[in-house]
Amino acid sequence: MKRTLWILLVVTVLLSFVLTACGGAATTEAPPEETEPPVVETQEPPPPDEPMEPTEAPEEPTAEPEEPTEEPVSGEPIKIGASLPITGGFAINGEKHRDGYQLCVDLINEKGGLLGRPVELIVSDNQSDVDTSLAQVERFLNVDNVDLIFGTFSSRLTFPMSSALEQAGMVHPIPSGAALRIYMRGYQTPFYFQQKAAEYVGQSPINMIKELVPEGEQPTTAALVYADDFFAGSIANGLLGGDVEVEGEDDVVSLAPGLIADAGMELVYEEMWPEEGFSDWITLANSIKESGAEFVFGLTASPDEAIQLARAMQTVEYQPKGVYLSQGSQQEFADALGETANGVTIHAAWHPAVQWEGLLAGEPYTNQDFQDDFREKFGREGDEDEAIPFALCQGIEQAVRATESTDNAEIIAWLKARTADDPVKTIIGDRYWDERGLPIDADFVMVQWQDGELAFVYPVGEFPGTSDLVWPKPEW
């Protein structure tokens, strides 16, 4: 019995020493200080069962202290959702839109974030599909709980998305959704960041011809071929002089007599090809050639279709005076076609030679700044499909900074209050909007492929850096 009591006494004393030692380590060793807060994503802490190694006191610095640097922002991020066509028929444009958004967000974070918080961009691939894009918007709102949503590419995807965001009361900045129908429903949330609705795009190549081509050399006949697509069909409607109406709405916009008739051209051929799966490009090109049209309006839904159409016209040795395509300003177009791209004209929202000046983080930010930063980040030259979403991001950043809020109602009110004297300032020009959400006093530029370079040819005299229009188009 005495032996048992003695053993219990010894064990009790030993346990008390162990507990005292453990308690001393937990109360005397300070945790290591956080030296660099995360920019966007919070790093995971070490597992709780891993003991912390004791650290020695830091030595006194012997060298001259370094200049203070701006610490990365930390805290709860401002979340921005973007449903983009990274794959599918609009993949070229969708990938470029993603890169434009990402560059802008990265620069905002490098400059101290927004409202003292980092900005996080959440991109989802909608696969160029309407239903997928709508499901992703719902997830942004109800699962990711984003603060803002940036628009997608194409009118076909934008039209239904605009209804979802209007119902949710979310500001809807649109980079590439030009069809007039999007803006005819009395919605308060859309703001288009390019220059004009699609129905009026055809005025740009026509103005270029009227002002730059001698009267005796201007085309008198035209062919109009286009995809069964929201965007392409809307441009065609403006050229043909049709009506624009939205199911369930009373307003009807008449575009009669049409831009082609206004220009004094005779329409000698018209054809629309199916929205998806069209492959009979050679037959289409032969039909255009047989019409004898001196000028071609080719309205495609994607750069891939523009490549196919141009290649087919070359194959059948069709030699018009001029060709305008609604897509084709991307480097991929010139890379795929080589010399076949020579002389093709395209309308553009942006060109590197047009030195618009915007704002970013409250400071001037020019078109040249964008080109330098894009080249440094991606190792290649940017084009308009990256500049447009970058400009949109600039505009929304200015709205958040001005309102000191991510409250969408306040942002919408601020954007609606912009004027010619107090616009949003971007690298694709100043922006203020009418009651529909369409820009006021904004015009496209015209560009032309010339020996592998995308030359800025129109308007002349407003900006430096224009090149002479090559007319007629070099023969294929």
User: Domain range holding 180?
Assistant: 78-195+352-431
Q: What residues contact residue 429 under an 8 Å CB cut-off, 6+ apart?
A: 195, 356, 442
Is the distance from CB of 146 to CB of 211 less than 8 angstroms? Answer: no
- The reported pLDDT for the residue numbered 340 is 97
Tell me: pLDDT of 87 over 70: yes
Mean pLDDT of the chain, nearest integer: 88
CA angle 253, 396, 69 (to 5 degrees): 165
Least confident of 47-51, 162-166, 352-356, 470-474: 47-51
CA 470 – CA 343 distance, rounded (Å): 6
- The reported pLDDT for the residue numbered 72 is 64
- The reported pLDDT for the residue numbered 250 is 85
Residue 397 identity (one-letter amino acid)? E
Of the candidates 138, 24, 144, 20, the residue with the CA atom closest to the CA atom of residue 79: 144
User: Could you tell me if 297 and 357 lie in one domain?
Assistant: no
User: Could you tell me if 291 and 384 lie in one domain?
Assistant: no
User: Could you tell me if 225 and 312 lie in one domain?
Assistant: yes
Q: Does 27 or 349 have the greater pLDDT score?
A: 349
- Output b/e per residue, 374-384; b: 16+ Cβ within 10 A: beeeeeeebbb
Least confident of 27-41, 220-234, 248-262: 27-41
| In a domain? residue 436 | no
User: Could you tell me if 116 and 142 lie in one domain?
Assistant: yes
| In a domain? residue 343 | yes
User: What's the total number of domains in the chain?
Assistant: 2
User: Could you tell me if 185 and 257 lie in one domain?
Assistant: no
Tell me: pLDDT of 124 over 50: yes
CA 46 – CA 51 distance, rounded (Å): 10
CA 326 – CA 253 distance, rounded (Å): 22
How is 232-293 classified by DSSP, letter by letter?
HHHHHHHHHT-EEE-TT---EEE-TT-HHHHTT-EEEEEEEE-SS----HHHHHHHHHHHT-
Tell me what the mean pLDDT of segment 16-28 comes to: 37
Q: What residues contact residue 309 under an 8 Å CB cut-off, 6+ apart?
A: 225, 281, 284, 285, 298, 300, 325
CA 234 – CA 194 distance, rounded (Å): 15
| In a domain? residue 270 | yes
| In a domain? residue 69 | no
Bridge partners for 324 per DSSP: 297, 345
| In a domain? residue 275 | yes
Is the distance from CB of 78 to CB of 147 less than 8 angstroms? Answer: yes
What is the residue whose two structure tokens read 């047989």?
A: 290
Of the candidates 251, 218, 221, 256, the residue with the CA atom closest to the CA atom of residue 239: 256
- Show the tokens assigned to 18: 């162990």
pLDDT tens figures, 322-355: 999 999 999 999 999 999 999 999 999 999 999 8
User: Could you tell me if 294 and 374 lie in one domain?
Assistant: no
| In a domain? residue 66 | no
Is the distance from CB of 133 to CB of 158 less than 8 angstroms? Answer: no
CA 271 – CA 252 distance, rounded (Å): 24
Confidence band of 462 (pLDDT split at 50, 70, 90): confident
Give the residue ranges of DSSP H helices in 112-173: 130-139, 155-168
- The reported pLDDT for the residue numbered 28 is 34
Is the distance from CB of 397 to CB of 405 less than 8 angstroms? Answer: no
User: Could you tell me if 246 and 136 lie in one domain?
Assistant: no
CA 288 – CA 2 distance, rounded (Å): 114
Distance between start and end Cα atoms, the chain: 112
- The reported pLDDT for the residue numbered 249 is 85
Tell me: pLDDT of 69 over 60: no
pTM of the model: 0.84
Of the candidates 380, 385, 351, 349, the residue with the CA atom closest to the CA atom of residue 368: 351
Q: Is the peptide bond before 257 cis (omega within 30 degrees of 0)?
A: yes
- Show the tokens assigned to 382: 């940017």
Give the three-class secondary structure for 60.
coil
Tell me: pLDDT of 1 over 80: no
CA 311 – CA 404 distance, rounded (Å): 51
Tell me what the mean pLDDT of segment 169-184 comes to: 97
Confidence band of 248 (pLDDT split at 50, 70, 90): confident
Tell me: pLDDT of 59 over 90: no
Is the distance from CB of 406 to CB of 148 less than 8 angstroms? Answer: yes
Q: What residues contact residue 94 under an 8 Å CB cut-off, 6+ apart?
A: 84, 85, 86, 87, 88, 125, 128, 152, 153
User: Could you tell me if 296 and 407 lie in one domain?
Assistant: no
Confidence band of 12 (pLDDT split at 50, 70, 90): very low
Q: Is 9 exposed, middle or buried (0-12, 13-18, 19+ CB in 10 A)?
A: exposed
Tell me: pLDDT of 56 over 60: no
User: Could you tell me if 84 and 125 lie in one domain?
Assistant: yes
CATH number at residue 258: 3.40.50.2300
- Show the tokens assigned to 173: 């900045």
Give the residue ranges of DSSP H helices in 29-147: 91-110, 130-139
| In a domain? residue 424 | yes
Confidence band of 251 (pLDDT split at 50, 70, 90): confident
CA 306 – CA 373 distance, rounded (Å): 29
User: Could you tell me if 326 and 416 lie in one domain?
Assistant: no
CA 366 – CA 370 distance, rounded (Å): 6
User: Could you tell me if 161 and 185 lie in one domain?
Assistant: yes
| In a domain? residue 183 | yes
User: Could you tell me if 132 and 172 lie in one domain?
Assistant: yes
Confidence band of 74 (pLDDT split at 50, 70, 90): confident
| Sign of the torsion angle spanned by Cα atoms 69, 70, 76, 80 | negative
- The reported pLDDT for the residue numbered 63 is 45
- The reported pLDDT for the residue numbered 71 is 57
